[in-house]
Structure 1
């Protein structure tokens, strides 16, 4: 299964909430500093943190609906 990568900024509450939601569900994520990838993220149309990438799907901002969709997809594919 494709790794979940979350690009974060320091002191970003939406970033913390995103990470917490994945962690609470037991989904392992790779946290990466968004500043190190700013040109790539901008080229993909993302202007706010966090940026979540789950393979071909990606989004920015705190999106509980998409986080839950990712969690459910992973649980269903593992069970």
Structure 2
């Protein structure tokens, strides 16, 4: 699948295309909780390596993120609002 990320640049939003990444393997992900909505998603990515981790921020508790880290701190962090 392709990943589209909106990146703020001087009062405008630019779309950068990363990918395609992924493959035929994997399983559906579910954090096990029921939420009413997503406030923000933070991704980390590295050129040529794909997404390293993501953090979901839900509307019920916008200050607390639920991280799913990659363990590699060389990735660039991007917020999707």
How high is the TM-score relative to the length of structure 1? 0.23
Q: TM-score, normalised by structure 2?
A: 0.23
Larger radius of gyration: 2
**Higher RCO (CA < 8 A, seq sep 6+):** 1
